[in-house]
Amino acid sequence: MISFSGVIFKIQPSESAAMKIIYLRVAELNEKWSNRVIKGYYKCKDQVTDMFRERYP
């Protein structure tokens, strides 16, 4: 709801506006978490790489 000079307007966004809000939020979270480093991953990186190559030659 938006109040303007004591008058209250009920605003319902369109479906495309809601999808845009969701898209922008997901894009923001993706950028935040895409560079995340898992602690201790360097210890098993070689093993994981070998397992991946065996499974997907």
Q: What is the pLDDT of residues 28-41, one digit of tens each?
A: 999 888 888 888 88
pLDDT at 14 over 90: no
What is the reported pLDDT for 7? 64
From residue 39, alpha-carbon distances to 11, 17, 24, 36 in Å are 46, 38, 28, 9
pTM score, two decimals?
0.46
